[in-house]
Amino acid sequence: MEQQTQNNGAPRIAEEAEVSGARAQPMQQTEVQQVDHSFLEDAIAQLQGGLDLKVQEVRDDRRLTKEEQRAKITDLWNRASAAYPEILKSYERKLREAVDEREQSLFHVPLSLRDSVRAAYSDARDRTEAPFMSGEADGVEYAREELRRLFGRAVKTGDRALETALGQLAIERGGPEEVVTSYLGRSEEKTAQAQRLAEARQKLAHWQDPQERNWMRITRAITLVKPEEA
């Protein structure tokens, strides 16, 4: 039964890269023993509780024959079963929206810098895209080294637009780590935003992992319990 929205706020310079929460590498790995899906568990518990209550009311209705009780309980189960996948879809949509919102916060660029950052981002991407995407170790290392060099120059010259563009490109590509760390380290707010984005991406990736989802079915209350009569 199982199974994104972007507001019209300030655009990300990374818009051309189409970085999705599900496949982009988080800039910080968060070590969590158990990913929190309590929002989903609460929604399913509410559905299950409502089903159990109505089923018990039918069982307690002595005016009904066993066949009538079974028919009514089966109908209740079918309704709950139809609502269940919608809860799962709504939850995944909520996770995707959280990733989108946190990406927009992290990649937000002030209006005064937006054009210059976009131009610097495009230039740096064009310089390094082919070797980075080649899949060859030398090519990837060349692209990373070029980002390091350009970022160092941006810091030395005080070129805020270039520094921002390179920091964002490094975040999208998962490195070089020293560029990401240096860029985020210049702002406590950006560091906190990066952490929140990493957590949102981790939660979405965890939910979308088939093995993790199967394990959750065993260890958590994310499935409906069918009445015996249904």
Task: Provide mean pLDDT across the span 180-198.
Answer: 93
Model pLDDT, residue 174: 87
Model pLDDT, residue 33: 59
Model pLDDT, residue 221: 84
The phi, psi pair for 108, rounded to 5°, reads: -65, 135
Model pLDDT, residue 17: 39
Confirm whether 192 is domain-assigned: yes
Task: Provide mean pLDDT across the span 192-210.
Answer: 94
Confirm whether 10 is domain-assigned: no
Model pLDDT, residue 8: 38
User: Domain range for residue 56?
Assistant: 37-219
Task: Provide mean pLDDT across the span 192-209.
Answer: 94
Lowest mean pLDDT among 15-29, 100-114, 169-183, 203-217: 15-29
Confirm whether 8 is domain-assigned: no
Task: Provide mean pLDDT across the span 67-81.
Answer: 97
Q: Is the pLDDT of residue 151 over 80?
A: yes
Rounded to whole angstroms, the Cα distance separating 25 from 219 reads: 27
Give every CB contact of residue 75 below 8 A, 6+ residues apart in sequence. none
Burial (CB count within 10 angstroms: exposed 0-12, middle 13-18, buried 19+), residue 103: buried
Confirm whether 21 is domain-assigned: no
Confirm whether 3 is domain-assigned: no
Confirm whether 29 is domain-assigned: no
Q: Whole-prediction pTM value?
A: 0.74
Tally of structural domains, the chain: 1
Confirm whether 130 is domain-assigned: yes
Task: Provide mean pLDDT across the span 198-220.
Answer: 93
pLDDT in tens, 82-138: 999 999 999 999 999 999 999 999 999 999 999 999 999 999 999 999 999 998 999
Confirm whether 20 is domain-assigned: no
